[in-house]
Every structure is written in structure tokens, then in C-alpha cells.
Amino acid sequence: MATIEEALEIERLERDIFRGASTKTQLPRTFGGQVAGQALVSAVRTVEPRFQVHSLHGYFLRPGNPQERTVYQVERIRDGRSFCTRRVTGIQDGAAIFTMAASFHAGDEGPEHQDHMPEVPAPEELPDASTTMSPERLWMMREWEHWDIRMVPQEDVSKRDGMVSQQQVWFRYRHQLPDDPLVHVCTLAYMSDMTLLGSSKVTHPDERTQNASLDHAMWFLQPFRADEWLLYDQSSPSAGFGRALTGGKIFSRAGALVAAVVQEGLIRTHREG
């Protein structure tokens, strides 16, 4: 399937109008991480190099057609000395399928602290997901064959009191990426939509549901490489009314908290027909 370079490929049509690539896929609708990643690449192309992405907030409005390319319109909301803001709308067939606000920061100095990384088995101690998936789920590994994904078994998950639904996942891009930090940020934006909603299914493993991302917020906290091991510490504090709230902290192998994610997703009981 598509490499991350192919999935995030953007063509500039006008000063602030871009068109994303359509890639080979087995999915019935465009993968949300690809839409978010392409939207972020489009926003990055309109910002001075001294600014780095520090957050994004997106809403998935309609299912995207994976056979069609998506056009991204970027609005330059603000250009300041330390911060600048962009709004991006992804469009197919004249209708918005995704909207996102992205904020960029030139960097400042201030107090520092972070949570500790959970103690979990090292990725080398866990099997590659492509070798453990059931036959009916192997298509997922073919879809994301360029990613090395290793689920921490539930018995080894570092549990915290009061948290009802948790899972932890090691992941990395299998191939070396360029050194440009923005490449790694956009790659992580793509990956951050993968597996997160699954944390809401940990306590309902046998219930058949229809799932889709509804909104997605992300903060980039420290430099990192997406082609090196990252631990995605995920939880779902609430589910109800056909929706589930999920969140994740992403740590580097060395224990640095590099990003945080919050997402609400559709998780309603599967209806036949």
C-alpha cells in the first residue's frame, strides 16, 4: 500500500489551494489520518520555516471517497511574531469533508515538566502485529504495511487506578524518513488516528460496532522521529450515546512526552442491512 510520502503528497494549485493525492487502499472511505495529514501539510506550506506546528484541531464532517483527490483551501487567520494560525477545509465534490485549525509557534522559554512514561515491555519483546492478527483482520496490516505496530498485551498494560479502558501500543515507521522535523510531525498526525478509537473497545471486545473518527485534536510537545519507536499510551474515559471519548500520550523510547491527542469517535451498535 501507499508509503507515507505518497499518502501525504500535496500539489499546489494556487497560493493557498492544494490538492492531495489519492492512494491505493482497501478502505471504503478515506482514512482520517490521511485527510488530517494532508490538511496539515497544506497549512505548513503557507507558513514561514521559523514556525513549527504546535497544535491542530480537526472535525471529520463527511466520509471521504478514497478514489477521489481532496482539495484543501487554506485561510491565513493570523500571522504574529510568535504564533500564526491557519484554517484548512478539505473538499470533495463541492462539499467539505474535513475542517481543521492549525497553530504554529516560533518557540519561547519557560518552566518545564512532564508525566512519566508508563512501564511496559520493550517493543523488541512484543510480536509485530502483522504476525499475530487473525486472518479476518490481516487486511489492516496490509493497509499499513509500512508501519511496525506492536500492541502491549492487556495483562502487561500499565494500569492506573480509576481509568476504565486502557491500551498501549508501540509503533514506528519502518523506513528512514528525512531529517526535516515537519515531515515527522505530519507523519505522526497521520498515525495518531490509527488504533486510538480501539481503546474504547477494550472493555467491549465482543460487541460489534460501527466506528469512525468525529473530531481530533493534537499537541506537539517535544522533537521526535516517527521512524523511531514511540509508545502510544491510550485510554477511553467515557462512552455513550453512540460516541466514545479517547485520549493518548505519545512518548519517545527515551521517555520524553512528545505529543498528546484527544479524539471523539463514533462507536454505535452495528446495524445489519
Catalytically active residues are 193, 213, 263
Taking phi over 0 as left and psi of -120 to 50 as alpha, with beta for the rest, 93 belongs to left
- How many other CB atoms are there within 10 angstroms of residue 58's CB atom? 26
Question: What backbone phi and psi angles, to 5 degrees, belong to 68?
Answer: -110, 150
Contact 218, 261 (CB under 8 A): yes
**Which of 89, 38, 29 lies closest to 63, judged by CA?**
29
Whether the CB-CB separation of 204 and 246 falls below 8 Å is answered with: no
Note the helical H segments in 162-239: 181-191
For residue 19, report the phi and psi dihedrals to the nearest 5 degrees.
Answer: -135, 125
